Amino acid sequence: MRLRVLGVGMGPQHVTLEVADALRSCDYVIAADKGPDDDLLAARHAIASAYGVEVVAVPDPPRDRADPADYPAAVRDWHEARVAAYEQVLRERGGGAAFLVWGDPSFYDSTIRIVEQLAARLPLHWDVLPGISAPQLLAARHRVVLHEVGQPVHVTTARRLHDDIDAGQANLVVMLTGQLDLTGLDDWSIWWGANLGTPSEELVAGRVGEVRDDVVAARDRAREAAGWVMDAYLLRAPS
């Protein structure tokens, strides 16, 4: 069996020529089905259909999203349930399959870890092709470089933001935003974006203390327009 992990950015418009060729070589796409209003599943159907590939939708196992005390353990349990469900599909169908990864497989996505576990259970050859990531789109939309000259950029999650700032990080790309908490950062600069690369895209930039309300309002508009919101932002400490 062959399994391909393909980054597809934020939809059909971001599928690279390399990923398109890889997708044409596959017999089917495996995709998590999170319910009747799953827009990401619909987007995967649209991409696969454009290249004549069938989608096998697999009901996604339930996950504890209520900020569990042992977050890594909750994620591991969820991954293990996903592995078991995908293993069943691969054993039944064989052939060449693909996972279409939103954004890029290297940024806060579990697909590679899941495929590593599948490869330990199955006679499986697999590879990974990159996609356009949220940090790339964010920088392009705001026409900025993610770091200053000769300086690093720290990529983190909203869950870890304040701990990372307390540890001395001063230039951060923040992803996986649940609650937007910019407490104590009024003098920092922010370049923020939601639903990047989609019709419901929203952008805000400026000093945090001056644009915080604009970010909240734009976030609400994005959620209302799309039924969901995925945002990312660049934060930079004052010089």
pLDDT, tens digit, for every residue of 103-144? 999 999 999 999 999 999 999 999 999 999 999 999 999 999
Please report where in the chains the tokens 């490869």 appear, as a residue: 119
d(CA 105, CA 126): 13
With cut-offs at 50, 70 and 90, classify the pLDDT of residue 59: very high
pLDDT at 65 over 60: no
| Each residue's pLDDT tens digit, 4-47 | 999 999 889 999 999 999 999 999 999 999 888 888 898 899 99
CA distance 30 to 3: 10
pLDDT surpassing 90 at residue 70: no
Walk me through the domains of the chain, giving residue ranges and CATH numbers: 2-129 (3.40.1010.10), 134-236 (3.30.950.10)
- Residue 66's identity, in one-letter code, is A
Say how many C-beta atoms besides its own lie within 10 A of residue 221's C-beta: 15
Maximum C-alpha span of the chain: 58
Q: Give the pTM.
A: 0.88
The pair of three-digit structure tokens given for residue 163, joined into one six-digit string: 């701990």
- Cα angle 105, 160, 185 (rounded to 5 degrees) comes to 120
